């Protein structure tokens, strides 16, 4: 009887120990994957030159990248055009708060003004809505759709991808278009940009080149630190899987390993999870 109890206790201990190890391994893998995602996004950000543009916040870039990667993995955005457009509506309208980024080239293609909706706020955006006729901007991820000629000339429709936040965008006619109230002249006269009926309107002279650049199913993200959206946005909070080792047109994933105060930047090129080569370049 004692032997049987002893054997039962030993078996129970082994089962518990094995379960703990499995859980621990799972937790470790989750932490490792989370760290890998962070390194991937940090690497991209550190290798983008903002020399001729306003500096985009890392927090905003990281938020946009997480949704972009999920949309890309789901086949919702173009696999060929690695273009990510970010509108940071936490910045005032007088700030160049739109960035069009070529992720493959690590290059800012455009950085300029973008308008928010009339009912979203004056100079600063404050209120957002997914309702028709609200004249408010909508938060979240969009995919660029067809180009057409309308009241504002060449324009491009947007498909809202976040249910409950911007999925009514197409029916609301939320589009990219040029506007004369998105200009330095308007800011000088009014101390803010003009406002749209909810569309992310851009400067008239840049409308066509921007539309042509971000057309064909690329990702556009409108950011604001809204707690409800940040907690509930589907594409933002979805687990990123798989995380690509490389993006299209890249041979290796660069990883910045330089200390911020260093005079020389050291970049490791990671391929299939291993260091392939190391390059040192002067710090900017």
Structure confidence by residue, pLDDT tens digits, 112-146: 999 999 999 999 999 999 999 999 999 999 999 99
Pairwise CA distance, residues 208 & 265, whole Å: 37
In 10 A of CB 127, how many CB atoms? 14
With cut-offs at 50, 70 and 90, classify the pLDDT of residue 273: very low
Q: Which two tokens stand for residue 266?
A: 């050291």
Q: What is the CATH number of domain 43-237?
A: 2.40.440.10
Arithmetic mean of pLDDT over the chain: 85
Q: Which two tokens stand for residue 35?
A: 């760290």
pLDDT for 242: 73
More confident residue, 26 or 177: 177
Contacts of 109 (CB under 8 A, 6+ apart): 83, 100, 101, 102, 213
Mean pLDDT, to the nearest integer, of 232-238? 97
Q: Which two tokens stand for residue 72?
A: 């890309």
What pairs with residue 203 in β-bridges?
179
Structure confidence by residue, pLDDT tens digits, 194-227: 999 999 999 999 999 999 999 999 999 999 999 9
Cβ atoms of 85 and 61 closer than 8 Å: no
Q: Helix, strand or coil for residue 58?
A: helix
More confident residue, 250 or 255: 255
Q: Which two tokens stand for residue 267?
A: 């970049």
Overall pTM surpassing 0.85 (yes/no) = no
**Domain ranges, ordered by start, for the chain:** 43-237, 251-284
Q: What is the dihedral of CA 186, 189, 193, 198, to 10 degrees?
A: -90
Beta-sheet pairing, 83-88 with 219-223: parallel
Mean pLDDT, to the nearest integer, of 79-93? 97
Q: Is the pLDDT of residue 280 over 50?
A: yes
Structure confidence by residue, pLDDT tens digits, 182-202: 999 999 999 999 999 999 999
More confident residue, 173 or 28: 173
Q: Is the pLDDT of residue 15 over 60?
A: no
CA 59 to chain centre: 10
Pairwise CA distance, residues 21 & 173, whole Å: 54
pLDDT for 57: 97
């Amino acid at each position: 009887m004692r032997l049987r109890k002893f054997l039962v206790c030993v078996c129970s201990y082994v089962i518990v120990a094995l379960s703990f190890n499995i859980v621990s391994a799972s937790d470790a893998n989750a932490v490792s994957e989370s760290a890998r995602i962070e390194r991937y996004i940090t690497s991209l950000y550190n290798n983008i030159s903002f020399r001729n543009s306003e500096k985009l916040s890392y927090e905003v870039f990281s938020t946009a990248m997480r949704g972009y990667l999920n949309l890309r993995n789901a086949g919702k955005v173009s696999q060929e055009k690695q273009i990510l457009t970010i509108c940071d509506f936490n910045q005032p309208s007088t700030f160049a708060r739109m960035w069009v980024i070529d992720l493959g080239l690590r290059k800012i293609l455009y950085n300029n003004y973008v308008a928010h909706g009339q009912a979203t706020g004056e100079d600063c955006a404050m209120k957002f809505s997914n309702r028709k006729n609200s004249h408010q901007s909508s938060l979240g991820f969009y995919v660029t759709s067809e180009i057409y000629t309308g009241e504002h000339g060449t324009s491009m429709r947007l498909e809202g991808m976040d249910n409950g936040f911007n999925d009514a965008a197409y029916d609301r006619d939320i589009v990219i278009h040029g506007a004369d109230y998105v200009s330095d002249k308007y800011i000088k006269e009014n101390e803010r940009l003009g406002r749209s009926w909810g569309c992310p309107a851009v400067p008239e002279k840049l409308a066509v080149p921007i539309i042509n650049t971000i057309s064909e199913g690329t990702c556009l993200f409108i950011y604001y630190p809204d707690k409800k959206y940040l907690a509930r946005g589907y594409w933002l909070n979805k687990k990123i899987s798989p995380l690509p080792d490389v993006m299209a047109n890249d041979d290796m994933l660069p990883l910045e390993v330089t200390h911020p105060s260093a005079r020389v930047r050291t970049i490791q090129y990671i391929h299939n999870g291993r260091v392939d080569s190391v390059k040192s370049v002067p710090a900017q």
